[in-house]
Amino acid sequence: MENNHSSSNSSGSGVSVGDRLCHCGASVKLYTAYTKLNNGRRFLRCGGVQGQKCDFFEWVDPYMCAQAHSINPGLLVRVNHLDDENRRMETVIVPWRQK
């Protein structure tokens, strides 16, 4: 049984998180959602025992408002652009320094 609010697009098998246990006694795993509404938002799910998982589900990261969703992609593009620029400047500056 799948939870409605859980993501079908999550990162693989999940990451173990310390010794936290699910209410069913299995270990809890950390996943990252890659849905349009919750891109990059992390959540916990039951890690299961012998393939038997219960329906435990809990968000780790807070809900991101629509404003954050509209701003984040733009910021990422700018950061990547500035990183490129930095690398380009390094190739110019480093030989100049060694003169």
| Contact set with Zn ion (CB under 5 A) | 22, 24, 26, 46, 54, 56
Do strands 15-21 and 57-59 pair parallel, antiparallel, or not at all (unpaired)? unpaired
CB of 65 to Zn ion, least distance (A): 30
CB of 10 to Zn ion, least distance (A): 16
Return the percent helix, strand and coil in the chain, to nearest 5. Answer: 30, 25, 40
Which CB, 27 or 39, lies closer to Zn ion? Answer: 27
Task: Note the helical H segments in 1-99.
Answer: 66-97
Euclidean distance between CA atoms 5 and 41, whole angstroms:
12
Which CB, 44 or 46, lies closer to Zn ion? Answer: 46
CB of 29 to Zn ion, least distance (A): 10
Which CB, 22 or 33, lies closer to Zn ion? Answer: 22
Q: Beta partners for 59?
A: 43
Which CB, 33 or 44, lies closer to Zn ion? Answer: 44
Quick one: tokens of 20?
């936290």
